[in-house]
Amino acid sequence: MTFILICALALVFVGLLVAPLVRRVIVQDGREALLFRAGQFARVLPAGAHWVAGWGVRVQEVDVREATLMVVGQEVLTADQLTLKVSVVLRYRLIKVEQALRSVQNYLEQLHLAVQEALRAAVAAKKLDELLVQREQIVEAMTPLVTEQAERVGAKVLRLTLRDFMLSGELKQSYAETVKARLEGQAALERARGETAAIRHLLNATQLMEAHPGLLQLRYLQTIDQAVTVGKGHTLMVGLPKELMPVIQAREVK
């Protein structure tokens, strides 16, 4: 009986010693946690309730839901050495929490730097005119570079978006003048092409009528018919070409 009592007291004593070392950890939905014991990484705790025991236990939670990183007002040089300000939005999600927190000192800074480097590389390969109309191509060029760096820190790139292309005041005015001059030049070129086509058409018609004189008479009669139709109730005076006079006189004699 004494032995049983001693064992019971011993169990109570051990329980009192161990109880403070055991605690319940609740990881919220949309988060994961890293469990450390005595400064050493132990395991990843998914969302839910967990019992953990040991000396020097520490839990670090991380949000693993979709997140947004804004890289605002980055000044970059184009291929024609013009300065452009661009903002980029990166949508991502952490898929390897251990890698994100243990492989680098700050995974957000690494993602920010990856976007900056990819943006500079993509913009430097294009001229300003191309950049303003080829946003999708810039995103396509940036995505593999950002994705590679994101995978190094345990993140997955969901989407990259370019926003706020900004030019300086002087550059904006200069660009507007350049576009205006280009449009005016294109309009003048189109007018010249139209005039050239009209002249070519007249030349072809003249050559055709010289080869077939009857076409000239037919066209003349069509013109008279149109004038009569439009000007009913009015006097129409028509000068006849001298080539038609013998025909008319011959009909009068008959």
Q: Where are the beta strands (DSSP E) in 95-208?
A: 155-166
Q: Minimal CA–CA distance to 131: which of 84, 183, 168?
A: 84
pLDDT tops 70 at residue 80: yes
Q: What is the pLDDT at residue 91?
A: 96
Q: What is the pLDDT at residue 108?
A: 93
pLDDT digits (tens, 9 = 90+) for 125-181: 888 878 878 888 899 999 999 999 999 999 999 999 988 777 755 555 555 555 555
The pTM score is 0.59
pLDDT digits (tens, 9 = 90+) for 84-135: 888 999 999 999 999 998 888 899 999 999 999 999 999 888 888 788 788 8
Question: For the ranges 2-6, 25-29, 95-99, which has the lowest average pLDDT?
Answer: 2-6
Angle at the Cα of 110 (from 121 to 43), degrees rounded to 5?
Answer: 145
Please state the separation of Cα 22 from the chain's center in Å.
Answer: 52
Angle at the Cα of 43 (from 38 to 46), degrees rounded to 5?
Answer: 130
Residue 19 confidence class, pLDDT cut points 50, 70, 90:
very low
Q: What is the pLDDT at residue 16?
A: 42
Q: What is the pLDDT at residue 142?
A: 93
Q: Is 160 exposed, middle or buried (0-12, 13-18, 19+ CB in 10 A)?
A: buried
Measure the CA–CA gap between 25 and 103, rounded to whole angstroms.
25
Angle at the Cα of 172 (from 168 to 173), degrees rounded to 5?
Answer: 125
Question: For the ranges 46-50, 192-196, 209-213, 234-238, which has the lowest average pLDDT?
Answer: 234-238
Q: What is the pLDDT at residue 23?
A: 77
14-20's contacts with Cβ under 8 Å and 24+ in sequence apart are: 18/53
Residue 18 confidence class, pLDDT cut points 50, 70, 90:
very low
Residue 221 confidence class, pLDDT cut points 50, 70, 90:
low
pLDDT tops 80 at residue 43: yes
Hey, which residues does 52 pair with through a beta bridge? 23
Q: Where are the beta strands (DSSP E) in 95-211?
A: 155-166
Residue 239 confidence class, pLDDT cut points 50, 70, 90:
low
Please state the rounded mean pLDDT for residues 39-56. 84
The CATH class, in words, for 67-166 is alpha beta
H or E, element range at 92: strand 83-94
